[in-house]
Amino acid sequence: MEDLFSPQANSGEQPELTVSEISALIKKSVETTFSHVRIRGEIFGAKRADSGHWYLSLKDENAVLSAVVWRGVAAGLAVKPEDGLEVIATGKITTFAGKSSYQLVIERMEPAGQGALLKLLEERKQAFAKEGLFDASHKKAIPFLPQTIGVVTSASGAVIRDIIHRVHDRFPTRILLIPTPVQGEGAALKIAQAIKDFNRLDTISSFPKPDVLIVARGGGSLEDLWPFNEECVVRAVYDSVIPIISAVGHETDTMLIDYVADKRAPTPTGAAEFAVPVLTELQMRVNNLDNRLKNGALRYFSEKKNYLAALSRGIPNLNQILQEATQKFDTRIERLNLAFCRLLKDKLHQIEMCRLQPLSVIKIIERNQENLNHLWLRLSSVSVGSVLNRGFAWVKNECNQTVYNTKQAKASKEFTVKFADGEIKAVNSTSFNAKPTKGKNNETEQISLFDL
């Protein structure tokens, strides 16, 4: 690069530069030299623009450095820019020609040195999250129309006034306040105790237990808001059976109470808006639904009236219905008479044919008789008597069941053996000594038939 600032160069030999040209050269030189720097300093004047960018300054005891965090980078920062916080910012130095200034474009930022509070905050956050205190499954629904709202905040200051005015403007509701300090030593314990007292209010007083709680505080530094990061407050909110809306600090402030609460509001006024609906909107909605119901009922009955009128026009005259039915009945009577006459005529014709051809009838009878005799012979050949006559016997056990094989025979105690000319009874035994003797009706006494 040509040295434009050499002391040896005569003024007549130096080129003339425009303001834009010299600004561009300075910008190039600065960004090349300081393309990656790590700077330690304390944040002050931090503010978030509507565009999402953060504008702030870093300072030490002797100097101030302007800085910017672009929107895309701000979402991924380990810590949010906050006044009074000492950080180490990593990025590059660039110039802004419009104001002849330079600034640090921050790409990464982490707490430095005394950022012990932030480190402790992050450690507590991770520990509580691991324990499950922030899980969505523990969140309780905010009631749509609470009868009583409990508030935990300072009795003086703008916070309680903002909540009261906002609730009164939207939907006038009973508000119970347990005043507590919201910063300083001992504030966390008193806030936690107030939450516990609200949860058992109906047992210790005549006041009803609130349907929802608002824990609120105005803006301030991290040190001022620290009571809402204390473990006793976080656990009191987690253990509360009453749904809790947290409204601590400004929208950009996020305390541990915000993670464990059932609903987080950006401001105390926003908490009041979450707690109650707008009465006038509810009235308009009810009126609208009432009008829709009435119009729907009128339209329904009007449609049914028109439908009935259309049906009545489609119903024929009663005499016409009777006449058509009578005509159908007459037609069927006439068809029945014709069918009966036709059937009678056919039967008479068949009788006449049988009378004129008796031999045909005799042949039919003889043929049927022959078939019947053949079937009788087949049936007789397979009857029980025919089988027994051929030398077979029918063996039955004591249950009068037929015995088909030796396995069934061995399992039986007694037998009845039927022959063509009679039957005998027998029992299973270990010896076969008895001889059958004739009894009455060709029956025999019980004998041993075979050894098992």
Evaluate whether 66 touches 93 at the Cβ level (below 8 Å). no
Phi and psi, residue 361, nearest 5°: -70, -40
Q: Residue 162 in contact with residue 138, Cβ under 8 Å?
A: no
What band does 78 get if pLDDT is binned at 50, 70 and 90?
Answer: low
CATH number of 120-277: 3.40.50.261
Of the candidates 109, 35, 82, the residue with the CA atom closest to the CA atom of residue 221: 82
Q: What is the pLDDT of residue 442?
A: 46
What are the CA-CA distances from residue 44 to residues 64, 91, 249, 380, 392 (Å)?
10, 18, 17, 123, 123
pLDDT at 450: 45
Contact present, 240 and 203 (Cβ < 8 Å): no
Residues of the chain with CATH 2.40.50.140: 19-114
CA angle at 264 for the pair 131 and 177, rounded to the nearest 5°: 105
Q: pLDDT-based confidence at 211, cuts 50/70/90?
A: very high
pLDDT at 115 (0 to 100):
59
For the chain, give every residue range classified as CATH 3.40.50.261.
120-277
Q: Is residue 372's pLDDT more than 50?
A: yes
Give yes or no for a contact between 273 and 165, defined as CB atoms under 8 angstroms apart. no
Which pLDDT belongs to residue 437?
A: 45
**Range of lowest pLDDT (96-110, 150-164, 265-279, 331-345):** 96-110
Instruction: Name which of 55-64, 325-334, 349-358 the model is least confident about.
Output: 349-358
Question: How far is residue 71 CA from its own chain's centroid?
Answer: 35
Asked: is 19-114 a CATH 1.10.1270.20 domain? The reply is no
Phi, psi (degrees; rounded to nearest 5) at 423: -145, 155
Phi-psi region of 100 (alpha: psi -120 to 50; beta: other; left: phi over 0): left
CA distance 80 to 56: 11
Report the alpha-carbon angle 14-16-17, nearest 5: 120
- Give the C-alpha distances (Å, rounded to integers) separating 347 from 281, 340, 341, 343, 353: 91, 11, 10, 6, 10
Q: In the chain, pLDDT over 70 holds for what percent of residues?
A: 88
Confidence tier at 443 by pLDDT (50, 70, 90): very low
Query: Tell me, what's the pLDDT at 389?
Result: 85
Is residue 201 within 8 A of residue 209, CB to CB? The reply is yes
Tell me the two tokens of residue 16: 């003339």
The answer to whether the beta carbons of residues 414 and 395 sit under 8 Å apart is no
Q: Is 267 exposed, middle or buried (0-12, 13-18, 19+ CB in 10 A)?
A: buried
- The C-alpha torsion from 81 through 83 and 84 to 88, rounded to 10°, is 30
Q: What is the pLDDT of residues 267-296, one digit of tens each?
A: 999 999 999 999 999 999 999 999 999 999
pLDDT in tens, 90-125: 999 999 888 888 999 999 887 675 455 777 788 889
Average pLDDT over residues 71-85: 76
- 136 pLDDT more than 70: yes
Which stretches of 174-230 are DSSP H helices? 187-199, 201-204, 222-225
Whether residue 341 is predicted with pLDDT greater than 60 in this model: the reply is yes
Taking each helix axis from N to C terminus, what angle separates 187-199 and 231-239, rounded to the nearest 10 degrees?
10
Cα–Cα dist 216/178, whole Å = 12
Q: What's the predicted TM-score (pTM) here? A: 0.46
Q: What are phi and psi of 425, to 5 degrees?
A: -110, 145
Residue 426 has pLDDT above 90, yes or no: no
- Decide which of 445 and 140 is more confident: 140
Residue 443, C-beta contacts closer than 8 angstroms, at least 6 positions apart: 422, 423, 424, 425
Question: Would you state the torsion angle of the CA atoms of residues 10, 14, 19, 20, taken in this order, to the nearest 10 degrees?
Answer: -150
Please determine, for residue 435, whether its predicted confidence score (pLDDT) is greater than 90: no
Interior/surface letters 163-173, b for 16+ CB within 10 angstroms, e for the rest: beebbeebbeb
> 358: pLDDT confidence band, cut at 50, 70 and 90?
low
CA 68 – CA 80 distance, rounded (Å): 13
Closest residue by Cα to residue 397 from 386, 385, 410: 410
Evaluate the CA torsion angle 160, 161, 166, 172 in order and state its sign: positive
* Mean pLDDT (the chain, rounded): 85
∠ at Cα 282 (277, 284), nearest 5°?
Answer: 145
